[in-house]
Amino acid sequence: MGIAAGSLVALLFRFGSTFLWAVIGVLTARTLSVEDRGAYASAVVFTSAVGGITSLGAATGYFVANRKTDPPEVAGHALVLSLVASAVSALCGAAVWLLVPGEIGRLGLLAGLLMPPNIIRNSLNGVVLGQGRLVRFNLVANLPVVIGFVLLALVLLGWSRRTAEAALAAWMLAQYLGLLPFLHWGRSWLLWPLRHRPRRDLVTGLLRFTAVSGLAGVVGLLNYRVDLLLVVSLDSREGAGIYASAIAGAEALWLFSSSIAMASFARVGAEAREEAARVTAAGVRHTLLIVSAGAAVLALVAPWAVVVLFGPDYRPAALPLRVLCIGTLLYAPQSLLNNYFSNQLGRPAITLVLGLTSLAVSVAAGLVLIPVYGFVGAAWATTLSYLVSGFVAIGLFLWLAPARWPDLWRLRREDLARYPRLARELAMRARRVGA
């Protein structure tokens, strides 16, 4: 499967997943109080951040795609390490529950139990992505969202006690059920640790890569969500609930760039330096074209969209949504550039530095703007951080890769010609399937 067709496959999965996330957002907005929704969203953000730092997904993908290590061997080592990290996170959640009374303690316990399935799934799914199996990767990644929607609907619509704890418990159960495909597709991976002795060099390599890429991942997640956490602390839980709706709308613009990064992951890691740079630059050009159009449309319909989707209480989310449209456009190529830095160069430290730069700017600007302008100030702080880190990332790419500045933004005739060619290719495939 080529990158263009693979990107479309990934994009279709992302559209489906985003639709479900949007429905989940509407469901929680309509059934939970604004304060409970803010607490629920904050707990999910926290568990995603901690799960990111302990996941070996980037390392397993790199060793399979770039280092050409046997996939079952990588998966077996990753499973053992993931189980250790999962046990630690669950114990930390239990400690919070024992030491902190009330709702916060119970949310801490649920958060600790929520992290293990995320760690295990992301680690094993990195092997799948490193092999270039996009359909299987997306099925495993999106199944927990589907199950989560079903369980949230059952709990929030069929149970009278609609609280942040009930919603988080339903979401936690969905993550465990989402591991079931590995029992079928990854049986050889799960049995590998029982049949082989671990390789010290591979364990060391996975841990070293993960120590940097995992920290870069959690910094990235915090960078995406630190504005929400600052709104909770400096503004109010109600403001966090409103701002979370604006974030959900703006991040839909990243569907295209993340799909290209996903489709090109294995190829960028496996190809020579010059070809990997060419693929990355082409992805950036297409991303800027599509995301610019999407950002303009979303900014135009923002006031109407937030009321229709989330209700009249969320009307104030329209302004921060428009501001975030600018920020997400500036940050859209980041996943493609990070893909090159980590999977081609094997230097996840670059991604970590970029994330820390963006995080520092976001926190500093947020501390100044949020007390004065509330969640609108958070949107401007995030946009500023994306602007700074985006230009730093482009500068590093042009320095380290055999590429020029026009390669990243100047559309070429073959770029525009790819869209009708892809449409014809898909039409031919559809006819063959029909025949």
Tokens of 359: 């995080």
Tokens of 405: 């500045």
pLDDT in tens, 381-429: 999 999 999 999 999 999 999 989 988 888 777 777 766 765 666 566 5
pLDDT in tens, 87-143: 998 998 899 899 988 888 888 889 889 989 988 998 999 999 998 888 899 899 899
Residue 93 falls within a domain, yes or no? yes
In the chain, the number of structural domains is: 1
pLDDT of res. 253: 82
Residue 411 falls within a domain, yes or no? yes
Residue 62 falls within a domain, yes or no? yes
Residues 6+ apart with CB under 8 A from 430: none
Concatenating the DSSP letter of every residue in 184-253 gives HHTHHHHHHHHHSPPPHHHHHHHHHHHHHHHHHHHHHHHHHHHHHHHHHHHT-HHHHHHHHHHHHHHGGG
Distance CA 99, CA 113 (A): 16
Per-residue b/e over 105-119, b at no fewer than 16 CB within 10 Å?
bbbbbbbbbbbbbbb
Contact 115, 50 (CB under 8 A): yes
* Residues in the chain, total: 435
Residue 13 falls within a domain, yes or no? yes
State the pLDDT confidence band at 4, using cuts at 50, 70 and 90. Answer: low
pLDDT of res. 310: 79
Stated pTM of the model: 0.77
Contact 220, 292 (CB under 8 A): no
Q: Which domain holds residue 160?
A: 3-425
Tokens of 213: 């890429």
Query: Quick count: other Cβ atoms within 10 Å of Cβ 176?
Result: 16
Residue 434 falls within a domain, yes or no? no
Query: Half-sphere exposure of 29 toward its Cβ, with a 13 Å CA cutoff?
Result: 26
